[in-house]
Amino acid sequence: MTPRHKRFAMIGLGLVALGIAAALVLNAFNSNLVFFFTPTQIANGEAPKGRSFRIGGLVEAGTLTREGDGLTVHFIVTDTVKRIPVTYKGILPDLFKEGKGAVAQGQLSTDGTFIASEVLAKHDENYMPPEAAEAIEKAKKAGAQSSNTLTPAPGRTGP
């Protein structure tokens, strides 16, 4: 092995060692690198107790209600397995919609309601013109109907 090859081998080995070290560190700090907790994680007690944290998931369709003051809102955040009711007083971001993603910061009260002090909208990575979105929505509905007629799903609940 020439000195030149030796130097390249050292650089390569150094990078491999560094990569392993970084992977171990990131693994150790895993819980601190999470921006929000899902309702399932909260139900399993993985979320920090007694201090503020973030909850993330989908705003369940049909659960958004507004109080008389026009500012306080209630909605349910779900990851389709568990559901957490959220209360928030303030202005919601434009992209906050039922059926879309949202992240809320706040604390879990004793009755299991999440009292949010800040609500952020989380949008997905799909970009398309409205016509395309409409077409997909239509296709989905058509697909859902046909599959319903073919196989009467026994365990299905809801509308």
Partner 1 sequence: MKMERINWFQWSSPQALYPLAGKLIPWFAWWSAVCITAGLYMGLLVAPTDFQQGDSYRIIFVHVPAAWMSMFLYVVMAGWAAVGLGLKARPSFMMAQAIAPTGALFTFLALFTGAFWGKPTWGAWWVWDARLTSELILLFQYAGVMLLHASIDDLRRADRASAVLALVGVVNVPIIYFSVRWWNTLHQGASISMTAAPKMAATMLAAMGIMALGFWLYSAAVTLMRVRSIILERERHASWVQMERVS
> Where along the sequence are the contacts to partner 1 (CB under 8 A)?
4, 7-8, 11, 14-15, 18-19, 22, 26, 30, 33-38, 56, 92-97, 100, 103, 118-130, 132-134
Question: Of 99 and 148, which has the nearer Cβ to partner 1?
Answer: 99
Output the smallest distance, CB 65 to partner 1, in A.
20
State the nearest-atom distance from the C-beta of 70 to partner 1, in Å. Answer: 18
**Which H helix or E strand runs over 104?**
strand 101-108
3-state secondary structure of 99: coil
> For partner 1, which is the closer residue by CB, 73 or 103?
103
Query: Which residue, 30 or 149, is less far from partner 1 as judged by CB?
Result: 30
For the CB of residue 148, give the shortest distance to partner 1 in the complex, in Å: 26
User: Is 58 within 8 Å of 81 (Cβ atoms)?
Assistant: no
Q: How far is the CB of 107 from partner 1 (least distance, A)?
A: 18
User: Within 13 A of 141's CA, how many CA atoms are on the CB side?
Assistant: 6
User: CA-based Rg of the chain, rounded to a whole angstrom?
Assistant: 23
The helix (H) or strand (E) run that includes residue 126 is: none
- In the bound state with partner 1, the residue whose beta carbon lies nearer, of 28 and 33, is 33
Distance separating the N- and C-terminal Cα atoms of the chain: 71
Cα–Cα dist 58/128, whole Å: 20
Single-letter residue type at 57: G
Residue 10 or 144 having the CB closest to partner 1: 10
Smallest distance, partner 1 to C-beta of residue 115, A: 18
